[in-house]
Amino acid sequence: MRRLDSVTVLINVWAVSHKIIFVGVDFTIEEVVPKVAIRLFCLVSQSFISTISFFNCLYIYTVAELNNMHQAMNMSRNRNCTILWDNLKKVEGISHGMGTKTLRVSVLMLLDAILMGVVVVIGAYAPRYRRHPVIGAVFMGAITLFLPIVSIIVTNIDSVHDLIQSLLRDVRCNDKSHLNLVFAWTGVVVAIGVSASAVVAGDAREGRNIAPPTILLVKASWSAYLTFSTLYYPRISLIQLFVVMFAKLLLKYAAFYMAQRSFALGRSPRLIAGYMAQLTDTAPPAPALIFMGEDKVQVEEQPHGYNFKQMPDDNLVTLDRVWGLDDRDKDLCYAFALFKLLRCRFAKYTVSEAGFIKTSEFFRNTLLQDDGHYGRVFRIITDELSFINDYYYSSLPIYYSHPLLPAFGVTLSLWSIGSCLWLIVDMMTQGLFIYGDSGQINCWVNLLNTQDCGYNTTVFGPYGVLLRVGSLYYDIVPLYLAIAVLVFAEAREIVSYVCSNWSKVALICHHVNQACWQRSRVVQKCICSLLKYHKCDKLVNNWEDKMKQCSILVLRPRKTPLLLHRLLRSVGRGKKVEVQSTVKDAIFKALKNHGAVSCIGPPPSPVPLSQDVCSGRQPGYTILVWHIATSVFEVFYQNKTSVLEVMSQLPQPSESDHKTVATHLSRYCTYLVTSRPELLPDDAEWCRKLYDQVKKDADRRVLAKVQGVDLYDVLRAHDNHEVLRDGARLGKKLVDDSSTKGKGWEKLACFWVEMILYVAPSENLEAHAEAISHGGELITLLWAMLAHAGITGRLDDAGAAAAAEEEGLAE
C-alpha cells in the first residue's frame, strides 16, 4: 500500500507540475498503468506542450518583426518617393533654365542669319556699300559667330545629359533632331559665306588681289568635322549640303588661280601696255584694241610687261573685227576694250604708256562728233566703269578665265538650291514642322515602378514623364531664314551669270571666233535674240545715274520754326537727284568744243572784270564763291516762288534748262568740296575745313534773311568770311549784268559745265576706284571720258591765257 501511495503521490506531483490534476482517484496495483506507458505519455505530453509554446513564441516574434520590417519599408518608400519627387523638381528647373539658355543661343542663330541676309541683300541691291568697313565687319562677324554658337550648343547638350542622369537613373534623352537642325544651319551659314565672299584676281601693280579667304576654308572644314563627329548617322540631305559647299569653295579657288595666271584677266594690264606700245596706227573703221583672246596667243616677257611674238594673230579678237556688229553690241565691245585700257591706269601706267593717246582721236571722232548723241558716249563710259566695278568688287569675272567655269558655277548654284529644297522636304518628312513644339532635348523618365508614390498619372502619364528642354522652333526659324538667304544668293548668282555684260562679250567673242557659228543662221538668230532681249540692266548694273546736292545757303521764311529749319537743312544736305539730260547735253557740247587738247583751262567768269576775285585761287575756293553767287542770283530771280521752294534741293518743273544745269552742277560741286574733296585737285582736309568755316558763318548770318536785298546786305558784311563776301559781290554783279542782257542763267550754266570739266582730270586713282565701288560719281565718269579724249591735265590762269593767245595767233 505504501508503494501505491507513493506512486500516487508521485503521479499527482508530476501531474500538478504539469498542470494535470487527478481528483479522487485511488490507485491499486492492478489499475495502475504500466510505468513505461505512463512515462511515454508524460514525455509525449511534455513535448507537445513545449512545441505549442515554441511555435506560439515564434509566431509572436515573427509578427513583431514583420511589423517592424513593414514600417521600415514604408519609411524607405516614402523617403525614396520624396527624393524622386525632389529630383524631378530639380530636373524640371534645370530644363527650364537650359531652355532659357537655348533660347538665347537660338536668338544668336537668328541674328547670324539676319546679318548674312543683310550682307547678301547689300551685295545684290546696294553693292556700293559692300566695301564699307561696317559691312565688312558684319560679314566677318556673321561668318565667325557660328563657331561659338555650335560650341555652346554641344556643351549645353553634354551638361544637360550629365546633370539629368546624375539625378535620375532610369532616364533616356534624345537630341538628334536638335543636332541635325543646328548643324544644317551651320552648313547653310558657311555656304552663304562662300557665295557672298568677293574674290579679285588683279595684277600686282593694281594692288587689288583678293584671294579666297583661307579662314572660310578652315571654318568650313571645322564645321564639317563637328557635324560628322557629333552625328554618327547624319542625314543624306545634310551630307549633300556640305558637299555642295566644298564644291563651290574649291571652284572659287580654282577660278581664282586660273584667272590670276590668265593674260585676259590677272595679267591683262602688263599685256595691254606692251601691246599698245607695239600697236601702230590703223586705218578705219576702228583701231585694233584688244577685245578678247589674249590667252590663245604666244607672248614673251619683257622687263616692263609682255609683248606678242607675232602681230597680228588670228586668235586675237580685236575691236576692228567686231565693229561691224549692231550699234549696241559694238558699243559694248568698245566699252570692254576701254575697260582694259582703264585697268592700265589703275595699274599705275601713265596715259601715254597705256595707249590712251593712240586711241583718243578715234574716241573724239566717233563719240564726240555726233550731234545729239550725248547718250551714246555716256552709255559707253558707264558700261566701262561697270566692268571696272565688277572686276574689282565681285567674284563674277574670275569665272570667265575658262569657257566652262560659268557653266560649272550655274550648275553648282542650281545644285545648292536643290539641296536647300531637299533639306526642307527632309525636315517635313521627319515631322519637324508639324511637331516643332517638341523640345530641343527630350528626356524620358521611367516611373513604372513608382506609382505607389501617389503621383497624378494625368500629369505624369501612367508610365513616366517627358521633360522638354527648349523648343525645336528655336532651331527651325533660324534655319529656315538662313535657307531663304542662301536660295536668294544662289538665284542672284545665276541671274548675274545669265544677265551680266561679261556673258554678252564672251558670247560675242565666241561668235566671232567660231566660223561654224557664223555659217549657221539658227545660231546667229539665237545669239541676236539673246543680245537684243537680254535686258537685265537694273539687276546687274551698279552705276547710279544720280548726283548728290549740297547747298550752303538754305533759307527759310520768317515764320518757319528754327527746329524745322534745321531739320530741313540736315535733310537737304547730300540729297540725290537724277543727272538730267540737259546736264549731259551741256557737258557733251562743251567737251566737243574743246577739240583735240591735252589740258583744259579754268572756266571763264560769267561777270566781266571779275576774274580778279578768284584769280590765283584754288578750285575749291572758286567753287564755293560761285556757289554763293549762284544762290544769290537764284534768290533774286525766284519768279514769285517761295524761298523755301527755291532753296530746297529739288528742281522745279518750270525751271529753264540753263537754270537746271547751273543749279544742279553748282550744288554737286559744293557736295564734292564737303564730302568728296579727294576727287578734286585741292587738298582734302583744306577743302573740308574751308567748307565748315563758310557753312558755320552762313548759318549764323543768314538764319532769318529771306529777301534778296537783305541777303546781299548780310553776306557782304565786313566781318563775314571772304567766300561769303566775294560770292555776294559776284552775285550782285551778275544780277545787274543779266538785267540788261538777260543771259544770267546761260552764263552760269556755261561756267559750271566748264568748272566740272576743269576739276575732272585727276591722278588720285584710289579715290576714283572708291567712288566706283560706291555706285559711281559724275566726276569719275567725266574723268574717264576726258582720259579717253586725251585730256589729262589742267592749266592755271596764266597757262590758259597763253593758250588762248596762241590759239588767236594761229587763227
DSSP string covering 154-223, please?
A: HHHHHHHHHHHHHH-SSEEEE-HHHHHHHHHHHHHHHHHHHHH---B---TTTT--BPPPHHHHHHHHHH
What percent of the chain is helix, strand and coil (3-state, nearest 5)? 65, 5, 25
pLDDT at 191 exceeding the cut of 60: yes
CA 223 to chain centre: 21
pLDDT at 460 exceeding the cut of 80: no
Question: If you average pLDDT over residues 569-584, what whole number do you get?
Answer: 74
DSSP string covering 476-534, please?
A: HHHHHHHHHHHHHHHHHHHHHHHHSHHHHHHHHHHHHH-HHHHH-HHHHHHHHHHHHS-
Look at 146 and 408; give whichever has higher pLDDT.
Answer: 408
Question: If you average pLDDT over residues 544-552, what whole number do you get?
Answer: 89
Measured distance CA(588)–CA(369) in Å, rounded:
10
Mean pLDDT score across all residues of the chain: 75
For residue 80, name the pLDDT band (cuts at 50, 70, 90): low
pLDDT at 483 exceeding the cut of 70: yes
Measured distance CA(445)–CA(127) in Å, rounded:
55
Look at 49 and 381; give whichever has higher pLDDT.
Answer: 381
What burial letters (b/e) apply to 598-608, b meaning 16+ CB within 10 Å? ebbbbbebbbe
Residue type (1 letter), 220: A
Measured distance CA(199)–CA(265) in Å, rounded:
13
Residue 575 backbone phi and psi in degrees, to 5 = -70, 140
pLDDT at 572 exceeding the cut of 50: no
pLDDT at 658 exceeding the cut of 80: yes
Question: If you average pLDDT over residues 506-510, what whole number do you get?
Answer: 85
pLDDT at 670 exceeding the cut of 80: yes
For residue 417, name the pLDDT band (cuts at 50, 70, 90): very high
Question: If you average pLDDT over residues 330-348, what whole number do you get?
Answer: 92
Q: For residue 534, what pLDDT is reported?
A: 59
pLDDT at 27 exceeding the cut of 60: no
Question: If you average pLDDT over residues 186-214, what whole number do you get?
Answer: 86
C-alpha separations of 761 from 339, 569, 664, 804 in Å: 18, 31, 20, 20
For residue 531, name the pLDDT band (cuts at 50, 70, 90): low
- Helix (H) / strand (E) containing 467: strand 464-469
Place of cell 571666233: 513
* pTM of the entire predicted model: 0.78
pLDDT of 754-795, one tens digit each? Answer: 999 999 998 889 899 888 888 789 999 999 999 999 888 888
What burial letters (b/e) apply to 362-385, b meaning 16+ CB within 10 Å? bbbebbbeeeeebebbbbbbbbbb
Q: For residue 250, what pLDDT is reported?
A: 93
Place of cell 541671274: 495
Question: If you average pLDDT over residues 441-463, what whole number do you get?
Answer: 52
Q: For residue 634, what pLDDT is reported?
A: 86
